Structure 1
């Protein structure tokens, strides 16, 4: 519910931006309604995850939800752009607290690896659903009741999530075995691999969306409407792939699930080099949706399995911060390279973690609770 809410909040507001600019008579800084939220969210993820580890995941989760509801109301009541931008920045902090603390709670309530994998698959699918429905829902709400509705809609699900969270018993704090530095944590094999894969996944996915959109419109003369429709089938396939990942990892192992996702994404990127009409691009984007849908939950499971419970918030914050970095880096790196080189580079980036996984001795089967505690970081406690 919380991940659905965070993703929905970013996508519904996008479609309301023109109306916000008109009503508030502010067009120059309008992009910061989105950028301010996303930038603060990305920067705050890592410290927010560490803070959740210190005070307890449920306490941080409740605090984040409360702040998110309050800032949603302030955004809806804003009468000028300055107030709206300030509230959106604070809302980014709230979202950064909610995400790692929510994953930390999920990790604590699903200690068995296969069940954790399935739960993370459902968590990832919730975000994918929000991504699919966010823009049309935002447009419908804006047309019906105004742009303020895109912020008011956050409050009912936030309060519902808050009520559920208050009913979840606080997890007991694990007894420390020895103190572990954050340097030890980030150099653990599972953390290194999941971080590299998370960066590669977002770099390839968002880079492909950026480059293909420009190519279709600037080189093929397609309309913005057609170039947007090309990505819908890919996005829809992410949801069932997320839900299937836990079962695949439990049956065939993390390594094979990773390799399958990487192979599918690389195949799709290679197919895009063939060009063709818009429908051909939509067809070759399907393996990217399936492959990305397999990689994302597996990467999260690996990160949480490779750290002790006392640092799961830090791990969740680290992974999502690195994924945000991959999303931000892709347009900057790929913009000057052209379509073909961008597709080739994206394919190289997405398969590179496979070599790292081999070097880091990625388990061929789903990790067990015993194997998790044998990782270098897993013997530690909160620094």
Structure 2
């Protein structure tokens, strides 16, 4: 008997929607903070636990590999088992793994804790996206929800750097893990109070696509591992080549499994939805360009100007405010003018700001000289982050919002890894053997070159956004929480 697709329950009372949105935004804030909070604590983690210079990167990489590898599985799990359950599960994994990380006394335990954190994020992120998409009516209500959610995500990435510096200086590296325990634990408990219950399923969960889950999860994990480890070990090292080949073969097997499966993990006809396909490409390109700039600015502040962790975090307060402003403005403008023109405008503004930042970067430039570019960049970056996930959700049925969110999220992770690997190679070329002022000057030149190349990628992202379209009325009516709503403009 064919499996019956789950339907979202009726819209929660309006008075509770605000609290629901606040919880979803808070969960996104936790994810974003956790992504960056560990960076500034890495030197203390390395010395405290005895990491080697080569193994220390895996404090970051273990999270990224697990997060990227499990996103499709996490997205489909939201469809099959309910987004509220997966939301709570992801937060519980965050809390437990953060406690384990803070208690770690050896490198292996900490790396394992970071991998579990990544798995938690892979269940939490698509569930959060699904809940935003299905709890709020398409149009003004959903645009506003994505604006709040996007503000939390964009601001959290910068807030993580600041919070990491404060906690590390005051309490030691363990604090960057312990802080997640009460935050994620409380959010997991609140999920059952504030989020509408998952609709009961009448279908047979035994039809779960195990072969598709295994091949996609291991294949994407191998691919992300390749992208993360390649710059460290060399792209022609046996380990990296083996991982790359395994990833390609497993993903080819995954596609073959999905074509033949009666209940595929990733229904390939989902990509007939043009907005999901285009939105996923936009997300890939956005993260490969805008998503790398935080790294390059951190290197510029610390390696060129000698900022410490606390000062670096404070330097990001200006772009954080700009990102929040852009995210909030984008939601209102998208309701009035449509997602496509506002997305293109956001990318144009962000690209112009990126050019200003690149041209201002020099060994002798003051922070104040960077501020105009950082403000313009932040406004465009915040607006684009808010809109790109909303664009990918347009016209996707409610019963497939989870896997669609998983696709967009996987594009986000892989795009960020690809962009960072390529642009770091550009930024670091020609630095070997240099010291002192010559190294500072060459580092600045390399960073400027990488940022300007990112501008070309931002322009390509804007061209890609031209492919977004308004969903047909029949698509709009299938998947939202409200019975009637305005048709969204694209």
Deviation at 1:209?
A: 4.5
Task: Tell me, yes or no, if structure 1 residue 310 matches structure 2 residue 399.
Answer: yes
Give the alignment of 1:299-338 within 5 angstroms.
Answer: 299-334=388-423, 335-336=425-426
Deviation at 1:340?
A: 6.5
What secondary structure, in the 3-state scheme, does the structure 1 residue paired with 2:426 have? coil
Give the alignment of 1:37-186 within 5 angstroms.
Answer: 37-167=63-193, 168-172=195-199, 182-186=267-271
* TM-score (norm: length of structure 2): 0.67
RMSD of the alignment, in Å?
3.0
Distance 2:159 2:294 in 1: 18
Deviates more, 1:264-273 or 1:4-13: 264-273
Q: What residue in structure 1 maps to residue 47 of structure 2? A: 22
Distance 1:238 1:174, change over 3 A: farther
Deviations 1:182-203 (A, max 9, x none): 2221342101221121122222
Are the aligned partners of 2:278 and 2:468 in contact in 1 as well (CA < 8 Å)? no
Q: What residue in structure 2 maps to residue 372 of structure 1? A: 476
Task: Tell me, yes or no, if structure 1 residue 188 matches structure 2 residue 273.
Answer: yes
Distance 2:329 2:188 in 1: 28
Q: What residue in structure 2 maps to residue 362 of structure 1? A: 469
Deviation at 1:99?
A: 0.8
Are the aligned partners of 1:57 and 1:104 in contact in 2 as well (CA < 8 Å)? yes
What secondary structure, in the 3-state scheme, does the structure 2 residue paired with 1:147 have? coil
Distance 1:340 1:139 in 2: 25
Deviation at 1:108?
A: 1.8
Structure 2: stretches of 5+ with no match in the other structure: 1-25, 204-261, 428-445, 480-490
Count of residue pairs brought into register by the alignment: 368
Q: What residue in structure 2 maps to residue 346 of structure 1? A: 454
Are the aligned partners of 2:88 and 2:189 in contact in 1 as well (CA < 8 Å)? no
Distance 1:201 1:155, change over 3 A: same
Task: Tell me, yes or no, if structure 1 residue 282 matches structure 2 residue 375.
Answer: no
Deviation at 1:273?
A: 5.6
Task: Tell me, yes or no, if structure 1 residue 2 matches structure 2 residue 27.
Answer: yes
Task: Tell me, yes or no, if structure 1 residue 223 matches structure 2 residue 223.
Answer: no
Deviates more, 1:115-124 or 1:163-172: 163-172
Distance 1:211 1:80, change over 3 A: closer
Choose 1 or 2 for highest CA Rg.
2
Distance 2:147 2:294 in 1: 23
What secondary structure, in the 3-state scheme, does the structure 1 residue paired with 2:70 have? helix
Which fold has the larger relative contact order, with Cα–Cα distance below 8 Å and residues 6 or more apart in sequence? 1
Are the aligned partners of 1:230 and 1:282 in contact in 2 as well (CA < 8 Å)? no
Distance 2:299 2:167 in 1: 29
Deviations 1:172-217 (A, max 9, x none): 36999x9896222134210122112112222221444555666788
